[in-house]
């Protein structure tokens, strides 16, 4: 029986008092018997948590009492067992490391495309203005092995910090196309889309909510395989269930 609620969420927002937040979030999560990881930095928050639905909802409501986090909307999936071994709250330089400090999603997000809009574009092979549509996988090479959008471009990177240089080297192949960057939950493709626009690409979008949101709203249409996740489930299917079940 799948009675463990798994959530993932991020928000780019300037946060202060990181040490106090670290202490408070860890105490609250342990009080509710949650496990997972919360990453904090000056640029925002990124978290992956699992527990009972009641306790998860209590923690999310606790976060929402902070005006800066009042609009967090986690993506949800279910599992039979707790996929995390510990409860960790870490302070990082970036909540997703890109090594490119000029990219600040809080200041200006790249335009996004919904799961259903991407589905329609992939079905047609072009966007609403007739441009060829390509998907760009911003994940690490080992994640791509579990599944990807059909015919997606991927740069065979070992970590996201390699993405800027790889993108710069391959920018010519993306000219005059509509590019939709995607990742697991949206955080990497958001930074990637901003960076690609800085490189001069005009028609770049991020997939809103990443693969997980696409699975939730569309399923596996135009997607091949599963989606790698960073917990003991290792990967989830298009119906958001552990792939090893």
Three-state SS for the chain is: CCCEEEEEEEEECCCCCHHHHHHHHHHHHHHCCCEEEEEEECCEEEEEEEECHHHHHHHHHHHHCCHHHCCCCCEEEEECCCCCCCEEEEECCCCCCCCCCCCCCCCCCCCEECHHHHHHHHHHCECCCCCEEEEEECCEHHHHCCEEECCCEECCECCHHHHHHHHHHCHHHHCCCEEEEECCCCHHHHHHHHHHHHCCCCCEEEECCHHHHHHHHCCCCCEEECEECCCCCCEECCCCCECCC
pLDDT tens for residues 154-204?
999 999 999 999 999 999 999 999 999 999 999 999 999 999 999 999 999
Q: Are residues 220 and 141 in the same domain?
A: yes
Give the up-direction half-sphere exposure of residue 147: CA atoms within 13 A in the CB hemisphere. 21
Q: Kindly report the pTM of this predicted structure.
A: 0.91
Active site residue 189: no
Segments of the chain with pLDDT less than 50? none
Q: Are residues 82 and 118 in the same domain?
A: no
Q: Are residues 83 and 179 in the same domain?
A: no
Q: What is the share, in percent, of the chain residues with pLDDT greater than 90?
A: 93
Q: Are residues 14 and 119 in the same domain?
A: no
In-domain check, residue 100 = no
Given the residues 9, 183, 189, 227, select the one marked as catalytic: 183
Question: What's the domain range around 118?
Answer: 112-236
pLDDT at 245: 57
Residue 145: give its domain's CATH number.
3.40.250.10
């Amino acid at each position: 029986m799948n009675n463990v609620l798994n959530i993932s969420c991020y928000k780019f927002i300037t946060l202060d008092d990181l040490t106090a937040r670290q202490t408070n979030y860890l105490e609250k999560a342990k009080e509710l018997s949650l496990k997972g990881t919360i990453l904090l930095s000056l640029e925002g928050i990124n978290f992956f948590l699992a527990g009972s639905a009641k306790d998860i909802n209590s923690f999310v409501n606790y976060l929402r009492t902070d005006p800066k986090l009042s609009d967090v909307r986690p993506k949800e999936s279910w599992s039979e067992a707790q996929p995390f071994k510990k409860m960790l709250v870490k302070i990082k330089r970036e909540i997703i490391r890109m090594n490119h400090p000029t990219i600040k999603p809080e200041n200006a997000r790249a335009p996004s495309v919904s799961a259903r809009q991407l589905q329609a574009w992939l079905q047609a092979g072009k966007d609403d203005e007739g441009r060829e549509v390509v998907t760009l996988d911003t994940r690490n090479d080992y994640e791509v092995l579990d599944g990807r959008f059909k015919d997606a471009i991927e740069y065979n990177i070992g970590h996201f910090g390699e993405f800027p240089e790889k993108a710069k080297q391959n920018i010519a192949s993306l000219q005059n196309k509509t590019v939709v960057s995607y990742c697991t939950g949206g955080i990497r493709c958001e930074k990637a889309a901003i960076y690609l626009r800085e490189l001069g690409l005009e028609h770049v979008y991020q997939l809103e909510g990443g693969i997980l949101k696409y699975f939730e709203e569309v399923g596996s249409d135009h997607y091949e395989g599963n989606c790698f996740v960073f917990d003991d489930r290792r990967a989830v299917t298009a119906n958001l269930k552990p792939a090893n079940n």
